[in-house]
Structure 1
Amino acid sequence: MKLPQIQNRRGEAGEIVVDLALPMSHACFLGHFPGRPVLAGVLQVDWAMRFAAEYFALDQTVAQDFQVKFRRVVGPDEDLSLALRFDRQRGTVTFEYRSAGEIVSSGKIRLEQHS
């Protein structure tokens, strides 16, 4: 699935916030669901992993386990921001999606450790 368009990004080592554009025309809304398009939760986790891999230059991005809390549905044309934090020592990525200042989902992903 194509990543959403990045409107802005800001941050520092270990932490970044990415502002995303999610127009109705984005492929994530096609068929999910007809008449009431929503951003699937599995895509939110996938996008968090993919952006984390890119911005934190992760060697591997295989999730060993994850916790996620969905607070409300995300629809098309919302201003959405994704905050990511990487804890290299613990091997975890935490994420938080916000729309209009409200947390819409958040979670923690523990990455598989390679010996």
Structure 2
Amino acid sequence: MKTKSTFSTLFGQNEGPEILAESTSADNAVLSLYVSDKLSWFDGHFPQQKVLPGVVQIDWAGKIGKAVFAGDRVFSQLTNIKFKSMVLPDTRMTLELRFNAEKGTLAFHYFNESDSFSTGSFKFIPS
């Protein structure tokens, strides 16, 4: 199982969130994240108001979820994606991941005290 110190290997420099804290179990993970204004994803994405692209949120959830839960399974499907609020630079948020090993599904939810940013689900199948 991955720990805070090894999550950084999932992302290139200035491409991933700073992981402030994490708690994992066999089917659930909760990570406290900081989204720095230094991330490369903010460059050129809405220059008047920098916003973290939704595809990046999906990528982060998928990479972290696969590392923690899916192991050798391969990505098959993405469903129920909803973007509810914009993630701006210098945002603190929580990523909650729930894995159903029997179905191979990984649900994600990004949120903080005041906003729900995005939700969705991945399907992983045996390789």
Q: Do Structure 1 and Structure 2 share a fold, with TM-score over 0.5?
A: yes
Question: 1:12 and 1:20 mapped to 2: Cα distance?
Answer: 18
Structure 1 residue aligned with 2:65, among 45, 52, 59? 52
Counterpart of 1:16 (choices 29, 51, 54) is 29
Q: Cα offset for 1:101?
A: 4.7
1:102 equivalent among 88, 96, 115? 115
Listed as ranges, the gaps of 5+ residues in structure 1 are none
Q: Is 1:41 the equivalent of 2:54?
A: yes
Alpha-carbon distance in 2 for matches of 1:60, 1:27 = 29
Q: 1:27 to 1:109 in 2, by over 3 A?
A: same
Which structure dedicates a bigger proportion of its chain to helix? 2
What is the CA deviation profile of residues 10-65 of structure 1, one whole-angstrom value per residue up to 9, with x for unaligned ones?
13211001111111111121111212111111111111100001112521342323
Alignment of 1:51-90 (within 5 A): 51-90=64-103
The answer to whether the 8 Å contact 2:74/2:126 transfers is no
Displacement after TM superposition at 1:9 (Å):
0.4
Fraction of identical pairs, as percent: 33
Structure 2 unaligned runs (5+)? 1-11
Count of residues paired in the alignment: 114
Instruction: Give the aligned residue type for 1:70.
Output: F
Distance (Å, rounded) in 2 between the aligned partners of 1:96 and 1:81: 8
Counterpart amino acid of residue 45 in structure 2: H
Q: Report the AA paired with residue 34 of structure 1.
A: P
Q: TM-score, normalised by structure 1?
A: 0.88
Partner secondary structure for residue 25 of structure 1: coil
- Report SS of the residue matched to 1:59: coil
Letter in 2 for 1:63: S
Distance 1:100 1:78 in 2: 11
Hey, what's the Cα distance between the residues in 1 that align with 2:64 and 2:28?
11
